[in-house]
Structure 1
Amino acid sequence: MARYYALLLTMLVCTPHFSVAADYYQIQVIDAETERGIPLVELETVNQILYVTDSNGIVAFHEPGLMNQEVYFSIRSHGYTYPKDNFGFTGKKLNVTPGGKAVFKLKRINVAQRLYRITGGGIYRDSVLTGVSVPLKHPVLDGRVLGSDSVENVIFKNKVYWFWGDTNQPRYPLGNYDVPGAVSELPSQGGLAIQKGVNLNYFLDQSGFAKKTCAMPGEGPTWIDALVTLKDESGIEHMFAKYVKVRGMLTAYERGLVEFNDALKQFEKQQVFDFDAPLYPVGHPVKYKMDGIDYVLFGLAAPLIRVPATPDALADLPEYETYTYLKAGTGTEEWAVDRDVQGQLRYQWRKHLPPLSYDLEQKLIQQGTLAAEEGYFYLRDIKTKQAIQIHNSSVAWNAYRKKWTMIASQKFGTSVLGEIWYSEADSPLGPWKWARKIVTHHKYSFYNPKQHPMFAEENGRLIYFEGTYTTLFSGNEVKTPRYDYNQMMYQLDLSDPRLAPELFPQ
């Protein structure tokens, strides 16, 4: 028997198609400032063989015909730079040998630091191949998930519950279009430190793939947002979300309220909303007390919709109000602007009116009833003073700054939906006047950012957020292997001088 195992081991080691860690040349790319590995760095050979660093910043290189010689690698990464040589090439040649190692240091242009990929296959593929330790229980495939769209998460029953949009699987191009979900432990309750990663425990179907948790009847996918927990009169905690049914090219035709059944790991329909109602739960919720009453605030570009923080009020659309200067118009005007006797805009909480938006304000400006500088959506770049159009945002209280902080994605920036901005204000209602770009992408989308206040560290000095990295809407037909259509986690250090408080005057 001993001879049998010895022979088997010899066969495995000597078989040309079987590679062990010693066969690979390990290339690690690190942040020159923090010396942490950088995920999502592309290394490309002269003959266009493309490698992308894993979440440790590692590439495992083992290319027949290119070993034991000098190989040139060009280097590129969103938000990071590497020096050009005398011919204008950005890269370096390496003497590639089995078992060898090399390190590239990149300068970070992003204010925020890219940490790791949260979802998808091969998160630590190259680390596993080269024998480097990894923090995740499932470092190469978890829940058979290859890619997941936008995230919703919340603390419920002292755990973090996560839900996503459309999700891909290995066995067929069509996957889960009805909200997969997972749970993780908080770092304070034994979960991974957020700087290291998130160990997701997916809710699985019989095949082992992430199950559908919100398969509402009707044509097309089911999506959720506005995920929120509320307590009833007895003090029992409930988790709710707004669902939408979608057909064709992103056309929503039904929306309503669902509640999560934790025993079944399933959302259950509570009611269908009036589709024509102007106010309803949307975006990433924020809890906020006003005049002694606890409210939940909702909104996409800014949280300008409120409802009392009770399960009954959440389900009752006539209870919803929006913070606005609009009032019902007369004659041919659809909406009118409310001003006081001095001519200043009069903001009030009002019912049955649409929330303010960038597009709506542009119509008012074109009509001549609103000056551009008066608009609520007049966020400007602190460097260039240029206006920024926000696509959507995530707002949270920050104890370190003693401000409300906004992480927002820009519409029509240097990439269509790939630029992420930081802003702050005294209230979750704003005004949001100044912003600093903290993440950039070249012809790639990074949309639906979600701030994670439950993971903030050092009294909020370090905050964390994620977004969806995808070619959708970008015009780029070249998808990054393993990374496309997945969630990326970033860390933002609010002590960075580029985010000095005096740069954000109210």
Structure 2
Amino acid sequence: MKYNRCLLCVLLMAIPRVIIAAEYFQFQVIDAESRRGIPLVELETVNQILFVTDSNGIAAINEPGLMNLEVYFFVRSHGYEFPADGFGFKGKKIKVTPGGKAVLEMKRVNLAERLYRVTGEGIYRDSLLSGAAIPIVQPVLNGRVLGSDSVVNAKFNNRMYWFWGDTKKPSYPLGNFSVPGAVSDLPGQGGLPIQQGVNLNYFLDQNGLAKKTCDMPGTGPTWIDGLVAIRDEQGNERLFAKYVKIKDLLTVYERGLVEFNDELKAFEKREVFDFNAPLYPVGHPVKYEMSGDEYILFGLAAPLIRVPANPADLADLKQYETYSYLKPGTKAENWIVDRNAEGQLRYKWRKQIPPLTSELEEKLIQQGQLTKQEQYFQLRDIETKERVEIQNSSVAWNTYRGKWTMIGLQKFGTSVLGEIWYSEAASPLGPWKWARKIVTHDKYSFYNPKQHPLFARENGRLIYFEGTYTALFSGNEVKTPRYDYNQIMYQLDLSDPRLAADLFEK
């Protein structure tokens, strides 16, 4: 009898969802190759009613004036194509009925496949309305987070810890500007397979909002990067990050080191760095062994900064070095290039000089100290042979390739801060010679990509990365509902012949 009551409760709870689903037309758009639903497909009617597919590729439609009619939908999505008719219109006429379903296919142009949205409201809203299966526990609102900027994450205490930049909330246009965070179980250890999604458990405040985990004193937002878990002399695992304080939107006026207190679910200040120091943790860190010692590599366009992998040295900027051909002791406006007796650039690990950048190398070329052929930054498009200038990147070892892989954001391109490239090299220090574009957007930004090597599948054949999808900096005044200012996950298959290993060895 008790079992029957429980079964009845389950059935009664399911009835409202069945009733709701019967009212909606389920429109799903799938990848013609993988057969998986495509998130972020825009379906627009002739009178500009816009529907956007959720992370299952589903749009639930219940528009009173259009039900039981044949309705034409324009179909478009970043990195995907839909065939045009004789008039050049890209779309499809569909009979929209309550409880009905339709499936459309799109051809993927991007090499990387868009999988799902990680953050924000309504990740599986349309699936919920139309009665489709949902993989994550919180499909519509989690931690009251509407949008989040720029992810960093690290494995710590055998779980994955996630932190973001500025975050929007439902109750006011200004949200959490002091680093919200969450934790998730690892795949195979209670967590979802990465291709299905991530169940984020946000650290919450007393009001049920994603809490401020790095509320450093001072005006303006607090941001973190360089998140890394390392062990101290006693063998204890500890989680550190670099913090910065921001004013006037993008001006950094303080930086230092913080450590995460797992009991308080908050970062605590450990060090305020000398603001004039040329070397400090930045970007997405990489652990790398050299001459039997473990180091942490940092950097933006490439990981050219190193520090021994221990808490004491991490906090001491005097221990930081950069891989460079610049002579120490020279000044910013008069750098001197170090060469050997044969006139070749002498690369060494050096202290108290800034890391190489493309801007710095351009100045050296103008001064006659460097030729274009000698530049460190020589990354080129495999197809066009044109230079590809990377703004920031995420580098990781890949077993499938036996190489270090880079997922990088192009500084300038056809889509401002919206183009992502893949490259590989024998060392995290490079040389990074060739790259192929794997993601592009139509006048929309997709920045600060983060590769997730821990989630790689099939010995690294399938790799995963995410980035921030936002109209910010793009010049596009039309923001995608629900998706704007959020993180989107992608999968890249390294067995794709367009990514053949020999292409990167030319």
2:254 maps to 1:254: yes
Q: Is the 8 A contact 1:244 1:256 kept in 2?
A: yes
**Counterparts of 1:444 and 1:314 in 2: how far apart (Å)?**
36
Aligned position for 1:476: 476
**Counterparts of 1:433 and 1:459 in 2: how far apart (Å)?**
24
Aligned position for 2:111: 111
User: Structure 1 length as normaliser, TM-score?
Assistant: 0.96
Aligned position for 1:449: 449
**Counterparts of 2:20 and 2:346 in 1: how far apart (Å)?**
69
Aligned position for 2:42: 42
Q: C-alpha displacement at 1:269, in angstroms?
A: 0.3
2:361 maps to 1:377: no
**Counterparts of 1:294 and 1:481 in 2: how far apart (Å)?**
45
Aligned position for 1:139: 139
Aligned position for 1:289: 289
Distance 1:107 1:256, change over 3 A: same
Distance 1:162 1:331, change over 3 A: closer
What SS does structure 1 have at the residue aligned with 2:363? helix
Q: C-alpha displacement at 1:341, in angstroms?
A: 2.0
**Counterparts of 2:476 and 2:19 in 1: how far apart (Å)?**
34
What SS does structure 2 have at the residue aligned with 1:498? helix
What SS does structure 1 have at the residue aligned with 2:87? coil
2:86 maps to 1:91: no
Aligned position for 1:201: 201
Read off the aligned partner of 1:292 and give its amino acid letter.
Answer: G
What SS does structure 2 have at the residue aligned with 1:106? strand
Aligned position for 1:121: 121
User: Considering only aligned residues, what root-mean-square deviation do their CA atoms show, in Å?
Assistant: 1.5
Read off the aligned partner of 1:183 and give its amino acid letter.
Answer: V
**Counterparts of 1:65 and 1:282 in 2: how far apart (Å)?**
53
- Which residues in structure 2 correspond to 1:216-295 (within 5 Å)? 216-295=216-295
Q: Deviations over 1:222-258 (max 9, x none)?
A: 0000000110111000000000000112100000000
Q: C-alpha displacement at 1:368, in angstroms?
A: 2.2
Aligned position for 2:190: 190
- What runs of 5+ residues in structure 1 fail to find an aligned partner? 1-8
**Counterparts of 2:333 and 2:193 in 1: how far apart (Å)?**
54
Aligned position for 2:356: 356
Distance 1:384 1:231, change over 3 A: same
Q: Is the 8 A contact 2:328 2:350 kept in 1?
A: no
**Counterparts of 2:478 and 2:19 in 1: how far apart (Å)?**
29
Aligned position for 2:391: 391
Q: C-alpha displacement at 1:387, in angstroms?
A: 0.3
Distance 1:331 1:89, change over 3 A: closer
Q: Deviations over 1:19-44 (max 9, x none)?
A: 71111111100000000000000000
Aligned position for 2:174: 174
Q: Deviations over 1:260-283 (max 9, x none)?
A: 000000100001000000000000
Read off the aligned partner of 2:283 and give its amino acid letter.
Answer: G
What SS does structure 2 have at the residue aligned with 1:327? coil
Q: C-alpha displacement at 1:339, in angstroms?
A: 1.5
Read off the aligned partner of 2:178 and give its amino acid letter.
Answer: D
Q: Is the 8 A contact 1:328 1:334 kept in 2?
A: no
Identify which range, 93-102 or 54-63, moves more after superposition: 93-102
Aligned position for 1:6: none
Q: C-alpha displacement at 1:326, in angstroms?
A: 1.0
**Counterparts of 1:420 and 1:333 in 2: how far apart (Å)?**
32
**Counterparts of 1:319 and 1:193 in 2: how far apart (Å)?**
39
Q: C-alpha displacement at 1:331, in angstroms?
A: 9.0
Distance 1:269 1:220, change over 3 A: same
Identify which range, 364-373 or 474-483, moves more after superposition: 364-373
**Counterparts of 1:413 and 1:260 in 2: how far apart (Å)?**
37
Provide runs of 4+ in structure 1 moved above 4 Å. 328-333
Aligned position for 2:3: none
Distance 1:369 1:469, change over 3 A: same
Q: C-alpha displacement at 1:329, in angstroms?
A: 7.2
Q: Deviations over 1:58-82 (max 9, x none)?
A: 0001111111111000011000000
Aligned position for 1:3: none
Q: Is the 8 A contact 1:161 1:182 kept in 2?
A: yes
Read off the aligned partner of 1:70 and give its amino acid letter.
Answer: E
**Counterparts of 2:63 and 2:235 in 1: how far apart (Å)?**
61
Q: C-alpha displacement at 1:373, in angstroms?
A: 2.2
2:339 maps to 1:339: yes
What SS does structure 2 have at the residue aligned with 1:188? coil
- What runs of 5+ residues in structure 2 fail to find an aligned partner? 1-11
Count of paired positions:
492
Q: Deviations over 1:435-471 (max 9, x none)?
A: 0000000110000000001101111001000000001
Q: Deviations over 1:206-228 (max 9, x none)?
A: 11010000000001000000000
- Which residues in structure 2 correspond to 1:150-165 (within 5 Å)? 150-165=150-165
Q: Deviations over 1:161-185 (max 9, x none)?
A: 0000000011111100000000000
Aligned position for 1:67: 67
Q: C-alpha displacement at 1:476, in angstroms?
A: 0.5
**Counterparts of 2:77 and 2:489 in 1: how far apart (Å)?**
15
What SS does structure 2 have at the residue aligned with 1:490? strand
**Counterparts of 2:191 and 2:164 in 1: how far apart (Å)?**
20
Q: Deviations over 1:274-327 (max 9, x none)?
A: 000000000000000111111000001100000000100000000000000111
**Counterparts of 2:226 and 2:28 in 1: how far apart (Å)?**
39
**Counterparts of 2:135 and 2:93 in 1: how far apart (Å)?**
31
Aligned position for 1:22: 22
**Counterparts of 1:419 and 1:402 in 2: how far apart (Å)?**
25
Q: C-alpha displacement at 1:328, in angstroms?
A: 4.2
**Counterparts of 2:263 and 2:289 in 1: how far apart (Å)?**
31
Q: Is the 8 A contact 1:339 1:345 kept in 2?
A: yes
What SS does structure 2 have at the residue aligned with 1:504? helix
**Counterparts of 1:333 and 1:172 in 2: how far apart (Å)?**
46
Aligned position for 2:6: none
Q: Is the 8 A contact 1:329 1:336 kept in 2?
A: no
Distance 1:201 1:502, change over 3 A: same
Read off the aligned partner of 2:49 and give its amino acid letter.
Answer: I
**Counterparts of 2:28 and 2:148 in 1: how far apart (Å)?**
26
